[in-house]
A and B are shown apart, each in its own frame.
Chain A
Amino acid sequence: MNDFLINLENVLQALSAGLLLGGIYGLMCVGLGIIFGVMRVINFGQGDLMMVGMYCAFYLFTTLGIGNFLGAEVGAIVAALLTGPIMYVFGLLLHRFLVSRVTGVRVAGLEGEGHYAQLILTLGMALILANGGLLLFGSTPVSIKSSLSSSAWEVGPFVGEFVSIFVNKARGIALVVSLAVAAALYFFITRSRLGKSLRAAADNPEAAIYMGIDVDKAHRMAFGIGTAVTAVAGGLVASYYPFQPYVGLEFVIVMYAGVVLGGLGSIIGAFWGGMIIGLVQQLATLVLPTQLQNTAVFVVFLLVVFLRPQGLFGVNVTRA
């Protein structure tokens, strides 16, 4: 095996790791993106909502016995997916009792359209969730253990008996599930009547009311979906990544970068923004020391913001 083949294998391996990571980041970003896109609310608590989702999946898997009942492999996936509806309801309640007080029709016309209050509320929510998590769950990292996270599929060899890439099974499955959830959400938003009404409420809340669309309800639904989607992504991450109550902070930066990269307000853009971040993080390890992974992400981020401020998928349609 010569140098070229070794390099080729490294590149392919980094590429596949990037795709696996990017798919999950993409799903997280979609959750944040839909909340921002519909409600124009910057939710600093998104990372911590994801953390709650991770623990939700963890306890479904362990305490509620889904892991024993369905077997560790299937159980891990089912636990992550079940997190969705549970966290949807959690999101609805958060919106009903907290977020709706500083967003939507109620704050239209206020100074800064209520952004200051939103910032403080979501940041406070993040702190309470993270520290509440510390009280409830403790600081010892946990993860959903199954044989999947410690075994891999071998793809290849491509050249003779050389150059193969190894795909961690847990990450591979997480990617597939994440793509499926993102695609389902995409069809919901673009094709279904309800999804279109969410976009209408985002585009022009006042006109949406003239159509008979209950904008407050649309916002609540968007917040619920956004929470659920990010939580499912968290549940999937939990199947291969040990986490503790402060895990949200590690991911919320990635989510923000991804959403802005893709173009604020674009839900597809959010997915691809997350994907790009995953790819850059992993490909950067080929040429840079691992500590500089995130530096590479932000260099790309700055480049995009500099060259295309509306983001990769951002549209600049003038408001009528």
Chain B
Amino acid sequence: MLELDDVHVAYGGLKALAGVSVKVGAGDFVSIIGPNGAGKTTLFKCISGIVAPVQGTIRFDGQDLTKVPAADRPHLGIAHVPEGRQVFPNLSVLENLEMGAWTYAGRRDWTDNLEYILGLFPVLASRRDQLAGTLSGGEQQMVAIGRGLASSPRLLMLDEPSMGLAPTIVDSIFERIVEIRRDKKLTVLLVEQRAVEALQSCDRGYVLETGRVVLEGGHEELLSDDRVRKAYLGI
């Protein structure tokens, strides 16, 4: 479904990605783990079109994404739940979700999607008219994920959904992600620093370090890999 081949990105003279190739098949749950500054967020921004690659190709369902303007990509079925949540602080919770439904598919499925999102995160129902900027971090993460779902995506990209959240909330967010994938038969691409949670829920994973894929494999394979165990799982 999504195929990145030899993608290079540079900020000025600084190489953020140096030839990254990632494949995500339809229905897959793929995790990308790696330390801070490895280029995980850059990779996502590249897929969303905020950052343009200097070299390499990105294909979504066979279509060359680099030729599609950033604002048109969500309409193809790509939902990006950005790092740091990035909700619209001065819009209400409901309005945030409505903006998620800006895509053609999201508009069509709005009623069903809203019901599903509020069922998934009941706390949002009681806060629907509250400004999103006044919510707690965990609630904002729920809004951000809900906003992504409201676009009726086929590919859901989650950038560090655990960032800055308490451990119990992180657990419940990960449970919800697994639940969403099961209910909606979504393809999920997850970027995480929390390697344990990310690798446990995924089918396949990539380890990204300083702009390169240093390791890839199935979830069993990565969990039992010595380097991964030492560097990321602390075993």
Contact = CB atoms under 8 A, between A and B. Distances in A.
Partners in one complex: yes
Interface of A: 193, 196-197, 199-200, 202-204, 206-215, 315, 317-320
B71 interface: yes
B8 interface: no
A204 B88 contact: yes
A318 B137 CA distance: 12
Given A206-B86, A315-B131, 5 more contacts: A199-B91, A204-B87, A214-B71, A320-B86, A320-B87
B2 to A, nearest CB: 16
Nearest to A108: B50
Contacts of B90: 199, 202-203, 315, 317
A212 B105 CA distance: 11
Contacts of A202: 90
A319 B82 contact: no
Contacts of A193: 98, 102
Contact of A203 (B73, B84, B91, B102): B91
B204 interface: no
A211 B82 contact: no
Contacts of A317: 89-90, 131, 133-134
Given A193-B98, A320-B84, A211 B147 contact: yes
Contacts of B99: 196-197, 200, 208, 211, 213
Contacts of A211: 74, 99-100, 102-103, 147, 151
A38 B183 CA distance: 37
25 contacts: A193-B98, A193-B102, A196-B95, A196-B99, A197-B99, A199-B90, A199-B91, A200-B88, A200-B91, A202-B90, A203-B88, A207-B88, A210-B48, A210-B74, A210-B86, A211-B102, A211-B103, A212-B151, A213-B71, A315-B90, A315-B131, A317-B89, A317-B90, A317-B133, A320-B84
Nearest to B157: A210
Which of B70, B103, B140, B151 has the most CB atoms of chain A within a 10 A radius of its CB? B70
Nearest to B48: A210
Contacts of A200: 88, 91, 95, 99
B89 A206 contact: no
B83 to A, nearest CB: 11
B71 A207 contact: no
B72 A212 contact: yes
B154 interface: no
Nearest to A210: B80
A17 B227 CA distance: 78
Contact of B74 (A196, A203, A212): A212
B85 interface: yes
Nearest to A193: B98
A197 B87 CA distance: 13
A320 B85 contact: yes
Contacts of A212: 71-75, 102-103, 151
Given A196-B98, A211-B74, A212-B75, A320 B140 contact: yes
Nearest to B74: A212
